[in-house]
Amino acid sequence: MKVTIVDYNSGNISSVINSFKEVAKDRVKIEVTADLNKIKSSDKVVLPGQGSFKSCVDALNKINGLTEALHEFAINNKKPLLGICVGLQMFADIGYEETETNGLGWISGKVSKIDNQNGKYKLPHIGWNQINIVKQSKIFENIENNSHMYFVHSYEFLPNDKNVISATTDYSTNIVCSVEKENIFGTQFHPEKSDKIGLQVIKNFIDL
């Protein structure tokens, strides 16, 4: 089996790569590339994202044919794809970080700044927070509710269809921290920085 981590120059993804390699051991081939044919021929794809919504979308769009290849992989061929942090946010129709920017439009909704209640809550939201698992999700196998995950973000994904939400976290408001829609999975938290529990999420995705 081949799992491809999409490297589209969106910041440092070495911890994502290292965590996947640690979990995969010798069972699974981990490829790190933006090569369209390699992505299309993968069994699973990981879409990381660091920085702003706009910078990540711009970086994806700079690589000719990449968004189309991802669309073909996840939407047409229904193969498993995991978005991490901004990788999840880009599933939305639109984001409002820096400027209004169109997302991939895979899960209808928008990405808006977290309501910090006039400075009562610090932004970015950085650190460990409990997650509340609200629906049975394949990537939460063997993970207890109220486990702690690691977050770094100032913006949140607001999906139109609340049925896609698989977990939330409480920070100022109830923030969506993971989604599952058929073959598409996303986490706002960083599984690669969330210790053993995060590695379990990665293992669950690889084992799908």
Active site residue 85: yes
Active site residue 177: no
In the sheet with 125-133, reading across from the earlier edge strand, the strands are 29-33, 2-6, 44-47, 81-84, 184-187, 173-181, 165-171, 125-133, 148-153
Pinpoint the alpha helices (H) of the chain: 14-24, 36-40, 53-62, 66-71, 86-89, 195-207
175-198: per-residue pLDDT in tens? 999 999 999 999 999 999 999 999
Out of 85, 125, 153, 156, the active site residue is 85
Out of 97, 125, 180, 190, the active site residue is 190
Delineate the domains of the chain, giving CATH numbers in brackets.
Answer: 2-207 (3.40.50.880)
Tally Cβ neighbours within 10 Å of residue 184.
Answer: 22
The predicted model scores a pTM of 0.97
Active site residue 125: no
Q: Taking each helix axis from N to C terminus, what angle separates 14-24 and 195-207, rounded to the nearest 10 degrees?
A: 70
97-142: per-residue pLDDT in tens? 999 999 999 999 999 999 999 999 999 999 999 999 999 999 999 9
